[in-house]
A and B are shown apart, each in its own frame.
Chain A
Amino acid sequence: MLSVKNLRAEVAGKEILKGINLEVRAGEVHAIMGPNGSGKSTLASVLAGNEKFTVTGGEATFLGRDLLSLSIEERACLGLFLGFQYPVEIPGVSMANFMKMAVAEQRKYRGEAPLSPAEFLKLVREKSAVVELDSKLISRSVNEGFSGGEKKKNEIFQMAMLEPKLAILDETDSGLDIDALRIVATGVTRLHTPENATVVITHYQRLLDYIVPDFVHVLYKGRIIHTGDKSLALKLEKEGYDWLINDYREE
């Protein structure tokens, strides 16, 4: 589904990604962990097409397409979803209106007929239940005045609405209390099918109790320095990154 080869990217002349290799197949869950500043969020942003970063080398294909040549919205319409670490507020634009436009644009791109207002409302009700999101939030402005937990639930609600092929969730667990974490993580798990894939970026093993990864990657200084299975996350939780980093330094 997603194939990243030797991907390099920089921001303001500073190289952040120094050759990333990553293979994600349908039905898989990948976790990306690593110390602060190692490039995890940058990787998510670059894959989504954020123009703040400049790709300086390597390649990425998504569903057989050259991902790096596509616009941000084309990537989204093809089925790449980014769950934001810090969802931005858009004053005066209701969540309902925002989602209506997003769903309509993505359906149009795929050549599907637009949803009727009734179908749309039904979808909203169904999908907001996935993350136990108060349906009143849908009439409020996008992320405006949302609590930290509501913002993250709202990200997963949007993921549920848009049914992406590949969801990249950037620290969706940060700032969540235990209950909200369970709700958000359970929501993500319920959305997982053999046809789609999820990449979760996280600092904490506790998220992975719910979202069980097939692969755990450790990103350090712009490179994936180690890949393991779910037991790697447990080891990292217990022992930290030092043992890996030390190895890496020796290399």
Chain B
Amino acid sequence: MAEKDKELLESIENQEYKYGFTSDIETETIPCGLNEQIVRLISEKKGEPEWMTQRRLEAYRHWLTLAPPTWAHLNIPPIDFQQIIYYAAPKPAKKLQSMDEVDPELKRTFDKLGIPLEEQMALAGVAVDAVMDSVSVKTTFKQTLAEKGIIFCSMSEAIRDYPELIQKYLGSVVPHTDNFYAALNMAVFSDGSFCYIPKGVRCPMELSTYFRINAAGTGQFERTLIVADEGAYVSYLEGCTAPRRDENQLHAAVVEIVVERDGEVKYSTVQNWYPGDKEGRGGIYNFVTKRGICRENARLSWTQVETGSAITWKYPSCILAGDNSVGEFYSVAMTNHFQQADTGTKMIHVGRNTRSRIVSKGISAGRSENSYRGLVRVVAAAENARNYSQCDSLLIGDRCGAHTFPVIDSANPTAVVEHEATTSKISEEQLFYCNQRGLSTEDAVGLIVNGYAREVLNKLPMEFAVEAQKLLAISLEGSVG
């Protein structure tokens, strides 16, 4: 291996996780382990109606019959599900009336993360439903949204205030029978976000939720449900940072999206869970099920920038049920050190003239393993379905791995499915060229990686794109020794 490469590799391995701090907020937890009592206790603590308790129990009983999936290209240490605490909430001293009453420590944590929770949010045009561990602490801009009939609240509130919508849509795209982690999530989900855009309404601002795992040893099980009714539009942003911890933390979220006829949803994620240290100790296990369904002429676009987690298992997918519906998946997945990622998408073409587009950019450094796994399925009835997939891999160093597992399954002869793939390395010539113009190797790598990922970054809303670029750079920080 060339000197340059070696130096680059060694220095990349020396970087620290930038957001690795914890905040000292008193946390209320329940005993660890999982049984029917615990499920009832979670439901009770959240003051849920009986129908919800029953749905959780049903999911729990189904979960008992399942085993964790093993088909991914991941090396997952055995997880003892009885050693996990399934519920933790920051203890509210009293009901909060305004931002001034929010725990100063909590506010500082948000500030450190650069979350624009306060007045600057008005300027940025972002409403944030801030989830700290499991309970929503504060929801902003509700008033503005309420005027348009838009519902944007925590899942707990939604279960209490909008039972008919929740009963209709919750589990309609990702039923608890879908997979092991989806069943677990339905049984124990602590909180999450609910968003409903009524018929014909265009949401005037980007909706945004920041998730954050805080209590040590607490699994976090978020549940997100987004419904865009006929002709509605919303752009939803999800961003994650987590404090560093030594023990592994399990994160098994479910995101469901329903896009009714003529509706459009853009879902953007910047994910930066703690990836573990450079020896591969600690880090988040991120086992997420994300799926949306599109009715006639509807459009769903997933954009993700993944830089964190020790292990990522995630396939944001589109069921293109309605005729002329469109699904898109734009992804940048970066892994370093001993991180493992098995991520991709599923595009299920059911309606006629459905179209999908997949752009996946993998970046592997250190000794990480990065896999793209994709399924494009065209059912027999889906006349004139179109898919275009592009899967690129960028390798930094020669101890990492990049893998691509694309599956195309077409049952209709009119389908046109295209797949392109490339694998490349950052060349020494590129680095020398950048260095010769005065850029440090670290800056040069950041620049080249951002250039490589640009097609995906361009799909993110402006503010988010800047954050994502920073994250990519942070993940490569210290690349010059």
Contact = CB atoms under 8 A, between A and B. Distances in A.
A92 B438 CA distance: 19
A98 B433 CA distance: 11
B438 A90 contact: no
B155 to A, nearest CB: 38
A193 to B, nearest CB: 20
A82 interface: yes
Interface in B405-463: 427-430, 432-441, 443, 447-448, 450-455
B451 A84 contact: no
A73 B480 CA distance: 12
Interface string B309-327: 0000000000000000000
A81 B436 CA distance: 7
A4 to B, nearest CB: 18
Nearest to A109: B438
A106 B438 contact: yes
Contact of B427 (A81, A88, A105): A88
Interface in A85-112: 87-88, 90-93, 97-98, 101-102, 105-106, 109
Nearest to B443: A101
Contact of A76 (B2, B427, B437): B437
Contacts of A51: 2-4, 428, 432
Contacts of B435: 49, 71-73, 76
A93 B448 contact: yes
Contact-residue size bin, chain B (C-beta under 8 Å from the other chain) = 20 to 34
Nearest to B441: A73
Chain B, interface SS category: helix
B438 A77 contact: yes
Contact of A162 (B2, B432, B438, B443): B438
Interface string A156-175: 00100010000000000000
B241 to A, nearest CB: 25
Given A76-B438, A90-B430, A106-B438, A101 B451 contact: no
Contacts of B3: 51
Contacts of B2: 51-52
Contacts of B437: 76, 98, 102, 105, 158, 162
Contacts of A82: 436
Q: Which 4 pairs show the lowest CB-CB distances between chains A and B?
A: A92-B451, A93-B451, A72-B435, A92-B454
